[in-house]
Structure 1
Amino acid sequence: MTTKADFTVTAGSVVVPYGHVIGNEKWRGSEVAQRLKGKVTLIFEDGLGLVDFHLSNRACILFISEADLVAGNEFKRRLVKLRNASSLGIVIVEKTPISDQYFLGVQKLVVLELGMVLLPVANQGEASQLIIQLVREQSRDRSANPFLRKHRAQLAEPSVLHTMQHIPGVGKTKALLLLQRFGSIHRLCNASINEVEQVVGQTVAQQIYTF
């Protein structure tokens, strides 16, 4: 049985059991939490502070909702604090017709100024799918964690993301993961099939290589 005493909830030094995700207590009962059930083992903690979800001992997620974007600048302070506390913070942003007008400002702050990974989603359901995919990728090869690369991936232009999704077997989630890992279509083209396989699995990697 896992207890609260088993975890250290300081950004960047959290002890996360293998195959688990630690979520901030504020997300209990949310759509994200509901959709994660049965897919990953989700444990809630009330002392995570800045962090919304911990995927591993080093990788953590800050989720910026549509309401956060519309409400004001509080999320910006959270971003800066998280960047200072963790070298492996991943930012998921809820990009909707309502919040779209604020998105470019968030993109500039997260990617250009803070140098963090930014992944846009349309809703909490899509956010949960992305979290599941990220957890699975880490579990597949923990020694080749895509977040532990020296370069930081930046958010691709919408046209690049759209182009990636034309590759057989690559949907939006896999396109985001590939761009996060390789940074551009050019780097993806020059990657070995083994490197691509670490991100999307053998079947899709072969489809990409053939394409």
Structure 2
Amino acid sequence: METEALLNAGPPYGHVIASEKWRNSSLIQSLKGGAVRVLFEKQLGVADFHLPNKSCVLYVSECDVIAGNGYKRKLVRYRNSSSSLQELVLVENTRLSQQYFAAVQKFVVLDLGLTLLPVGGQTEASQLITQIVHGEGRENPFRRRPSSRPLDPLVLALARRVPGVGRVKAPALLEQFSSVRLLCNAAPAELEPVVGQAAARQIHGFFHKPTAAGT
């Protein structure tokens, strides 16, 4: 079927396939404001979004986290899906859900082996998705030299959002850490030679924010 082929191949450049349940959300409105074309599909399975860089997204909201362990069953189904796409998990790390974030991170990254990206809410999530969508298919302005490998738009978009990195240090960082998993799991000592001590601490802190009990 045409729809099935589109899902397997991913949407075309500049597009996102979204689950029908997101149609009236602020996230979708933000995506459209960022010049992203949204295609709605009722049969996305567990995933919430399919992106043009052959990845899919499951969104775990603040309410999901606070409500208890119900989201874990959904995450397991997501991990066990037969999709050939790279599976990403966006988790809302807010003032209310912060105390649970460490446990969610452990379950997603260590227990399931999935890639977790923390976001402050739907607006921030839409900004990240927009950066990924617009980075795919374009000539990368951060490519340093002809012999360098193209930088993954997903990792580039993520790195540019980290405090202390931005546009300037992102290319150097991604020459060393070429995947989201490597970047998330890097220790400050590994990051420091690339971006300096202050930025290394900020990057590590971005992915390992303290719980409310520790603040």
Mapped partners of 1:83, 1:136: distance in 2: 26
Kept in 1, the 8 Å contact 2:26–2:122? The answer is: yes
* Structure 1 segment 152-191 matched on structure 2, within 5 A: 165-167=163-165, 169=167, 180=180, 183=183, 184=186, 186=190
**Higher relative CO (CA 8 A, sep ≥ 6), structure 1 or 2?**
2
Mapped partners of 2:167, 2:53: distance in 1: 30
After TM superposition, give the deviation of residue 118 of structure 1 in Å. Answer: 0.7
1:206 is matched with which residue? none
* Structure 1 segment 62-77 matched on structure 2, within 5 A: 62-77=58-73
* Structure 1 segment 6-21 matched on structure 2, within 5 A: 6-8=2-4, 13-21=8-16
1:123 is matched with which residue? 121
Aligned residue-pair number: 174
Kept in 2, the 8 Å contact 1:60–1:90? The answer is: yes
* Structure 1 segment 140-155 matched on structure 2, within 5 A: 140=138, 144=150, 146=152
* Structure 1 segment 1-211 matched on structure 2, within 5 A: 6-8=2-4, 13-38=8-33, 39-56=35-52, 58-85=54-81, 86=83, 88-140=86-138, 144=150, 146=152, 165-167=163-165, 169=167, 180=180, 183=183, 184=186, 186=190
Mapped partners of 1:124, 1:102: distance in 2: 19
After TM superposition, give the deviation of residue 127 of structure 1 in Å. Answer: 0.6
Matched-pair identity in %: 44
Kept in 1, the 8 Å contact 2:10–2:52? The answer is: yes
Aligned structure 1 segments of 4 or more residues deviating by more than 6 angstroms = 175-179
Which ranges of structure 2 fall in alignment gaps of 5 or more residues?
141-148, 196-215
RMSD (Å) for aligned C-alpha atoms: 3.9
Kept in 2, the 8 Å contact 1:64–1:93? The answer is: yes
Kept in 2, the 8 Å contact 1:9–1:47? The answer is: no
Kept in 2, the 8 Å contact 1:52–1:60? The answer is: yes
Mapped partners of 2:191, 2:150: distance in 1: 17
Kept in 2, the 8 Å contact 1:9–1:48? The answer is: no
**Corresponding residue SS for 1:166:** coil
After TM superposition, give the deviation of residue 47 of structure 1 in Å. Answer: 0.9
Kept in 2, the 8 Å contact 1:14–1:57? The answer is: no
After TM superposition, give the deviation of residue 140 of structure 1 in Å. Answer: 2.8
Kept in 1, the 8 Å contact 2:13–2:134? The answer is: no
Mapped partners of 1:47, 1:83: distance in 2: 17
After TM superposition, give the deviation of residue 15 of structure 1 in Å. Answer: 4.0
